Structure 1
Amino acid sequence: MSYRTNKAQQNLLNQFLSEHGVQLSEETLDKLYQFADLVVDTKEYGNLISAKDSEKFLSRHIADSLVPFVFMGKSLDPSTSPNGSAQDDKLRWADMGAGAGCPVFPLAIAMPNVQFYAVEPRHMRVNFMQMVKEKLHLDNLTVVGKRFETSGLTDLDFISCRALSTFENDWERAQAGLKRGGTFVTLKSFNNIAHLENDPKVHIQKYELPEEEQVYALVTRGNNE
């Protein structure tokens, strides 16, 4: 199966984006389809994804990975700044425990003006991501083969993770690497973070994914301390 020809999955992804007022270029979409094919079809780096998830990789994993871009992308686009000029320095965004590349690769594809770091200690995953980076010519992404705590990455504008640990544990790991005023971004099942709804330091954006029953949440917290 190729996601570059799977119209049903493409339509689900595009419908999800359209419902949130997002339209991606054909070139960007094609890179996302290429990334999906590489994750699903590449076998020499171990089991990157389950057989069940491989059948809905665009509608489940790519759509989910793009949620930070869907809800935050406009605020990260230099063209929307008051003077309309590009930033001198790119925003710096690290993804902890990047695994096979979600959400960091879809985000890097969708936001070429942001410098991304895919941080992952497992050797096979690191080799896979490096191969994908080269195939897709993602000059705005660096693969870091270490645990985040030993990566040396500091003063970051954003740190993200997806399905890593509890919100509290993830925030604790990320906080030291964020610049003052930086933002921690994580994607969770809403049930796992419902206890945070009344926390004034946390912002929760609920969302649903195509053909998935549960409710998900984009959770952000600023490093203002």
Structure 2
Amino acid sequence: MAERDRLLHRLDEGLAALGLDLPDSVRGRLIDYVELLARWNSAYNLTAVRDPGEMVARHLLDSLAIAAHVSGASLADLGTGAGLPGIPLALLQPERQFTLVDSNGKKARFLREAVRSLKLANVRVFEGRVQDVPGQFDCITARAFATLADMLNWAGGLLADGGSWLAMKGKLQDEEIAALPAGFRIEQTLALAVPRTVGERHLIVIRKA
């Protein structure tokens, strides 16, 4: 089996487990993204995950596992790194506008190349600190970026009224949840079942109080 076919097969298995039915065009672009990331990763060390097959599970499927919880017309992905979960979600949801935020120059260069080569007209890249991002967003995502308190203290003002903050975490820490800043409340905490991944994965949905 050719490498690209192997990656598509692994993606399809995961999508079936997540209950997602995607058109061939989106499936192909998701694999294009993994292949681009794998090429850049060898030179720029963008992610600790080296194997493209592992990237499908630990990056693509992990990102797509929260797709049903994204809402609104605009989304900011804070500390996006190599574009996670922002790029997989943007490929899945072209009707939304995505802003990918990262202060690391080499990661921002990769993001701009990914936007160009994947023809992501609904994505822009902001290279800088989350504290400096202009505007407000209907939805904010952050994947293992910082503690809940730090994220909300730095960037809570980016969340529009009525919007939702989707914090992707591994193992839940009671003390972290207890330290939620004033003005915010946890709407729900969900355990995520991500195919072919080891360890706990959780989604914490936060709204303004």
TM-score of the aligned structures, taking structure 2 as reference length: 0.86
The answer to whether the 8 Å contact 2:74/2:96 transfers is yes
Query: Structure 2: how far apart are the matches of 1:186 and 1:193?
Result: 15
Q: What pairs up with 1:42-191 in 2 under 5 angstroms?
A: 42-43=40-41, 46-50=44-48, 52=50, 54-69=52-67, 71-72=68-69, 76=71, 91-152=73-134, 154-191=135-172
Of 31, 34, 40, the match for 1:33: 31
What is the alpha-carbon distance in structure 1 between the residues aligned to residue 113 and residue 174 of structure 2? 34
Q: Distance in 1 between matches of 2:123 and 2:3?
A: 23
Q: Using the TM superposition, give the Cα deviation of residue 174 of structure 1 relative to its aligned residue in structure 2, in angstroms.
A: 3.0
Report if the CA contact (8 A) 1:92-1:156 is conserved.
yes
Q: 1:18 aligns with which of 12, 16, 19?
A: 16
Structure 2: distance between partners of 1:133 and 1:3: 23
The answer on whether the counterparts of 1:112 and 1:140 sit within 8 Å (CA) in structure 2 is yes
CA 1:44–1:208: 2 relative to 1, 3 Å: closer
Secondary structure at the counterpart of residue 61 of structure 2: helix
> Which range moves more in the overlay, 180-189 or 161-170?
161-170
Q: What amino acid is the match of 1:58? A: V
- CA–CA distance in 2 between the matches of 1:138 and 1:31? 10
- What per-residue deviation string (whole Å, max 9, x for no partner) do you get for residues 27-78 of structure 1? 0010000000111112586111225454400011110111221x325xx4xx
Question: What CA RMSD, in Å, does the superposition of the two structures yield over aligned residues?
Answer: 2.5
Aligned equivalents of 1:52, 1:144: Cα separation in 2 = 26
Query: 1:94 & 1:3 partners in 2: Cα distance?
Result: 32
Equivalent position SS for 2:112 = helix
The residue aligned with 2:4 is: 4
Gapped regions of structure 1 (runs ≥ 5)? 77-89
Cα gap change, 1:43/1:203 in structure 2, threshold over 3 Å: closer, same or farther?
closer
Q: Percent identity?
A: 23
Q: CA deviation at 1:151?
A: 1.8
Between 1:201-210 and 1:25-34, the stretch displaced more is 201-210
Alignment coverage as a number of residue pairs: 204
Distance 1:43 1:166, change over 3 A: closer
Q: Give yes or no for contact 1:196–1:202 (8 Å, CA) kept in 2.
A: no
Which amino acid in the other structure matches residue 101 of structure 2? V
Change (3 A) 1:146 1:16: same
